[in-house]
Structure 1
Amino acid sequence: MAGAATRVVRAAGRFVDGTLPVRIRAWDGSEAGATRESGAPVVVLKHRRALRRLLWQPGEMGLAHAYVSGDLDVEGDLQEGLTAMWGLVRDGAVRPRKPGVAELPGLLGSAARLGLLGPRPAPPPEAIRLPRFAKLHSRLRDRAVIHHHYDAGNDFYELILDRNMAYSSGYWADLAAPVTEANLVAAQDAKLDLICRKLGLGEGSRLLDVGCGWGSLPIHAAKHYGAHVRGVTIATEQRDHINQRIRAEGLADRVQVDLVDYRDVPTRIEGYGEFDAVSSIEMGEHVGDGNYPTFASILFGALRPAGRALVQQMSRRPGDHPGGGPFIETYVTPDMVMRPVGDTLTLLQQAGLEVRDVHVMREHYVPTCRAWIATLEANWDRAVALAGERGARMWRLYLVGAALAFEENRMGVDQILLSRPTTTGRSGMPATRATFEPSVESAPAGTSRS
């Protein structure tokens, strides 16, 4: 009698034109499919439930549930395996096909012999569960989304991220540099410096950071540029972490962080309308299409005339899935919108801001994600202790998939520099980009980059 792996390969062949590009190892120990000598990825079906998940949800979501739950694994390096499989699909070596009506009885018989018939398996508990009656981007739903992802525990994020606790793309001087912890720190320091220079920060500058994360930019701007910073977040764990860092760094007179929804910034933040600069680093994706004009108008309104704004935001190509795909929407941030960068520029301009510079940083997210992956793998046991086995597997799949999406131009990230012109059209911007360049030391004399 043929082993389970052989029966799986035969059945899968009815859904794929061409040779199955992977080797299958089934729960009974049998193997079939592509030869090991071919270098094809080895997909390990640890439980027949993995196939039941795929029967109920063919494609990305079934595979994600199976991987996160531990029912399915990939032997060796997941990053290499996904890259190889995606490349075969992208290049047309593997093309999905729909079985004909005459094939259905045979497929049903194969499913029965493999023990796959049964109720739809529940998704792993790591999949987000949203309030049942909360409207899209209502305050209740936004808080639930943020709590799901960002209040997962500061200990876990401290494990994955660099010492800045910067959860956004770094700025790598050498994109081919090894993805070491030291190089990640340097890339995040360079990104924070770049933002501060673009915003023209200096001693006494007033900065508002909307969606301030774990405080990497507020603390850097205050410590190295002498800025006075107000940060806002709706994640309690983030606010508590930042306050600890503020006390440890002795910056209580320069940095204040409030637990405030961005929609309440105009009424809750003292000095609104008088800030020299405003920033929002990879937060604008989370406000949604319907609320983005409000978000943009709040950035505009926070600035004094001739003040500057910087928005670092992820983007998608026209026609691509704006939410990042089923996996991200189910496990990470379900209501995220990544539109083409040109559409975002239009929305910011409609709020009254003038676009001064657009800096495409897509390639920089690849080594950033891979540095986080390397840290996760090096500290796997600790990650499992903090997030659970399924939670750690979710993060592995998320970061590996994100690195591949940025590498292959299915996702992007851009720094958009803007100004609020005066009534006479004065932008307050320098004549050239020279002050933004890394070679120019524009921070106050004697400040440290360490």
Structure 2
Amino acid sequence: MGAGAAQRVAGAVGAFLDGPVPVRIRAWDGSEAGAAPGPGVPTVVLRSRRALRRLLWEPGEMGLAHAYVSGDLDVDGDLAEGLSAMWVLINSGTVTKRRPGARELPGLAVTAARLGLLRTKPAPPPEAIRVRGRLHSRRRDRDVIAHHYDAGNAFYSLLLDDSMAYSSGYWTAPENTLAQAQHDKLELICRKLDLAPGRRLLDIGCGWGSLAVHAAREHGAQVRAVTISREQRDQVNARIRAEGLAGKVQVDLLDYRDVAERITATDGPFDAVSAIEMGEHVGDEHYPTFAATLHGALRPGGRALVQQMSRGANAPGGGAFIETYVTPDMIMRPVGDTLTFLQHAGLEVRDVHVMREHYVPTIRAWLATLEERFDEAVSLLGERGARMWRLYLAGGALAFEENRMGVDQILLARPTDRGRSGMPATRDDWSVSSRADAGIPES
């Protein structure tokens, strides 16, 4: 009896590795080969020959992503655990590449022909984004934001907690729920910004209104919020009506580049300005304009808070998958580079709160919800769209856990002409540390 597809694949893969194949391979014909099953050994399931063609034409991250999103490839069991195991194998040096010798090439060509790989390159799944126009032009930024954030309020309502916060939570205790972590994050921001009744907050890139609503409802702030996503604008307006916050919160469909002319010039300055995981969508070329917008919107002695994803000096940040499927043009730079931009705009850096580890349980909570309600997600996004989100969340949690990506809260002040910041001497004033302190019941 001839070798099955899995044995042929394992033999071909082994020609490119200095050592045994470190994963279990299960092929479309039911055959299995490679590493022996066991703890820490992921099983890669090849559901069709097209999975191999994708990997042959695009070895590495993008070939795997296209194959997974399209359903041509799966990882048996928990996807996050499988991805983590493969990442450990690569980083530990267990898997090292080699170039096949000349005597091996004819055999590899025969194997490729028998596996049906000598065909044209498969097209990417339609969920892969195709953006046009000049980088960070208004139209291109609007198209990119629309692709990701206009996926539908129904889907984000399924994925997120009731606050609709789509950013890292703040986990003051490991047993807390996602809702508690998001409440504590919003409370932390409001305290850092020293919000109180009558104080005015400008929220740039407001998402689905989690901070705007919290600041108005819990702290009595007057909030002006802006977004370039129509879906988000409509959702925030619905929340304003539902919570009786008309006159307390106003949301505008507006690009941050228009804030100075359309809002600050007529309604400024503000006591506080926030930008929660919005600055990643601002390229290096435009970040000075963004930083100047924050500075210009603040009164002297006012505070700004930027929560933004980052990367280490030698870390990849988002990577090709995010660029292709999620949010193209997203910039993750080392946090020090962002601080330099903000300081050059005249803002004083008062506190940098590294929250990288907080994003891990946040994303895993979203992923757990997606898995529990996967059929509903498929009905909203289609099978490929739901698989894309599963891969995005599983990989994203690992990226933060393994320090390939970070997230930081940067607290800033606009000093007065005499250099006074108006900041307290210690962090005690904005501490959020317990469930009793936050004041919401156990769920």
TM range (shorter): over 0.9
Partner residue of 1:196? 190
**Relative to 1, partners in 2 of residues 1:208 and 1:45: Cα closer, same or farther, differing over 3 Å?**
same
User: Please, what TM-score do these two structures have when normalized by structure 2?
Assistant: 0.96
Q: Kindly report the root-mean-square deviation, in angstroms, between the aligned alpha carbons of the 2 structures.
A: 1.6
* Whole-angstrom CA distance in 1 between matches of 2:189 and 2:267: 21
- Report the identity percentage: 71
2:306 match: 311
The match for 2:357 is 363
C-alpha distance in 1 between matches for 2:422 and 2:289: 24
Match of 2:423 in 1: 429
- 1:288 Cα deviation after fit: 0.9
Rounded to whole Å, the distance in 2 between the matches of 1:316 and 1:272 is 35
Q: Choose which of 288, 295, 298 in structure 2 pairs with 1:293.
A: 288
Match of 1:263 in 2: 257
Amino acid at match of 1:433: R
Per the alignment, residue 274 of structure 2 pairs with: 279
Per-residue CA distance 1:76-114 (angstroms, 9 max, x = gap):
110111111111111111112233444333222211111
Quickly say closer, same or farther: Cα 1:38–1:403, change in 2 above 3 A. closer
The SS at the match of 1:17 is coil
**More displaced 10-residue stretch of structure 1: 262-271 or 285-294:** 262-271
**CA distance in 1 between partners of 2:155 and 2:234 (Å):** 15
Contact 1:272–1:302 at 8 Å: present in 2 too?
Answer: no
User: What's the offset of the Cα at 1:321?
Assistant: 2.6
- Secondary structure, aligned partner of 2:177: helix
How far 1:430 sits from its partner (Å)? Answer: 1.0
Q: CA deviation at 1:39?
A: 4.8
Check whether the contact 1:272–1:301 (CA below 8 A) recurs between aligned residues. no
1:373 and 1:396 in contact (8 A); partners too: yes
Q: Gaps spanning 5+ residues in structure 2: where?
A: none
The 3-state SS of whatever aligns with 1:171 is coil
Of the structure 1 ranges 90-99 and 224-233, higher mean CA displacement relative to structure 2 is found in 90-99
Other-structure match for 2:208: 214
> Contact conserved, 1:128 with 1:332, CA < 8 A, in 2?
yes
Once the two structures are TM-superposed, the CA of residue 38 in structure 1 deviates from its matched residue by: 5.4
Q: Distance in 2 between matches of 1:291 and 1:356?
A: 23
Residue deviations 1:323-368 (CA, integer Å, cap 9, x gap): x111000000110010000111111000000000000000000000
Secondary structure, aligned partner of 1:16:
coil
Check whether the contact 2:359–2:400 (CA below 8 A) recurs between aligned residues: yes
In 2, Cα distance between equivalents of 1:343 and 1:439: 30
SS at match of 2:425: coil
TM-score by length of 1: 0.95
1:117-266 alignment, distance < 5 Å: 117-131=118-132, 134-174=133-173, 176-177=174-175, 183-266=177-260
| Contact 1:222 1:229 (C-alpha < 8 Å) held by counterparts | yes
SS of equivalent residue, structure 1 residue 166:
coil
Report if aligned partners of 1:172, 1:187 keep a CA contact under 8 Å in 2.
yes
Q: 1:88 is matched with which residue?
A: 89
Amino acid at match of 2:127: E
CA contact (8 A) 1:207 1:275 kept: yes
- Is 2:40–2:85's contact at 8 Å kept on the other side of the alignment? no
Post-superposition Cα deviations, 1:227-281, rounded to whole Å, max 9, x if no partner, equal 0000100000000000000000000110000000000001111545410000000
Q: In the TM superposition, what is the alpha-carbon distance from 1:312 to its structure 2 partner?
A: 0.2
Structure 1 residues 317, 272: closer, same or farther in 2, change over 3 A?
farther
Size of the alignment, in residue pairs?
A: 438
1:160 corresponds to which letter in structure 2? L
For the residue of structure 2 that corresponds to 1:36, the secondary structure is coil
Taking structure 1 as reference, are residues 38 and 187 closer, same or farther at Cα in structure 2, changes over 3 Å only?
Answer: closer
Q: Where do 5+ consecutive residues of structure 1 fail to align? A: none
8 Å contact 2:172–2:434 — kept in the other structure?
no
Which residue of 406, 426, 433 corresponds with 2:400?
Answer: 406
